[in-house]
Amino acid sequence: MKVVILAGGRGTRLSEETGIRPKPMVEIGGKPVLWHIMKIYSTQGFNEFVICLGYKGYQIKEYFINYFTHNSDLTVDLATNKVELHHCTSEPWHVTLVDTGESTETGGRLTRIQKYVSNEPFFMTYGDGLADFDLDSLLNRHHLNPNAVATVTAVQPLGRFGSMTTEPSGQVATFVEKPQGDGSWINGGFFVLEPPIFDYIQDDTEQFERQPLGRLTRDGGLFAYHHTGFWHPMDTLRDKEILNRLWTEKKAPWKIWE
């Protein structure tokens, strides 16, 4: 199965970084968050990627064009302008990079890569979220439902603020710094999609998460895989700092590779 990654948004809530680079190229532990996402899939046996480019997409193209060189030792003969590569550690990835428009909505980005996924089911995710989920479990859940056109990974994020209960006197009875949220399940951004999904996207102006998934829900074709493990988006500078700290302290739950 191929993995489609939406990597074309502007990431305005992370403007400290995205003013000079696309959001998927913001680094965690010295590697773009896009690389981390691809490693999650690759480690579990999925190495064919279709990346939907938009805002500053040329930087993502340049990253992969030069990837082999950047991950090798090399000898440069300046007299003959020849380069000899040594000890390459590149991943076995097959990456298709598609310009899907700088301002195109997520539904439109998907329709523009339809020809690259053929008439087969595929994974889809965004270029800014990390998780330790199991792809085989996600696929098994998807295949349990013969009517499933899409299966979305549902997650429960941590609450943003500390939670407490107090006595009438004002004394704090309980305090939890990072409580579970309000119990609601939200879109974690990791999908399995069947080819009929394209029939639910009417034009480029539609956000995939709104009109198409709304239509699909009404038709009974959207199912959920509940993930109770680690999940964290990279929406803000604070998110980036949290993910970098986990990586630096060697506590990154999404690092399922050696």
Domains in the chain with CATH codes: 2-153+186-248 (3.90.550.10)
**pLDDT score for 161:** 47
Q: Which residues have CB under 8 Å from 93's CB, separation 6+?
A: 38, 42, 47, 48, 49
Distance in angstroms (rounded) separating the CA atoms of residues 64 and 59: 9
Structure-derived torsion over alpha carbons of residues 18, 102, 109, 204, reported in degrees to the nearest 10: 130
Neighbours of 16 (CB within 10 A): 11
Task: Spell out the per-residue pLDDT of the chain, length 258, in tens.
Answer: 999 999 998 888 888 888 899 999 999 999 999 999 999 999 999 999 999 999 999 999 999 999 988 888 889 999 999 989 887 778 999 999 999 999 899 999 999 999 999 899 999 999 999 999 999 999 999 999 999 999 999 998 876 545 555 667 655 555 555 555 556 788 999 999 999 999 999 988 999 999 999 999 999 999 999 999 999 999 999 999 999 999 999 999 999 998
DSSP label of 159: P
Strand boundaries in 54-170, DSSP class E: 73-77, 82-86, 94-99, 122-126, 129-131, 150-155, 163-166
Question: In this structure, what is the dihedral angle of CA atoms 48, 52, 55, 57, given to the nearest 10 degrees?
Answer: 40
**Cα diameter, the chain:** 82
- Predicted local distance difference test score (pLDDT) of residue 176: 55
- Nearest CA to 193 out of 93, 114, 132, 127 is that of 114
d(CA 121, CA 124): 10
| Residue entry with tokens 């991950």 | 71
Q: For residue 10, what pLDDT is reported?
A: 85
Contact between 96 and 116 (Cβ < 8 Å)? yes
Q: Convert 39-74 to b/e letters by CB count within 10 Å (16 or more is b).
A: bbbbebebbbbbbbbbbbbeebeebbeebeeeeeee
Q: H or E element: which one contains 42?
A: helix 33-43
Question: How are the residues of the chain apportioned to helix, strand and coil, as percentages rounded to the nearest 5?
Answer: 30, 30, 40
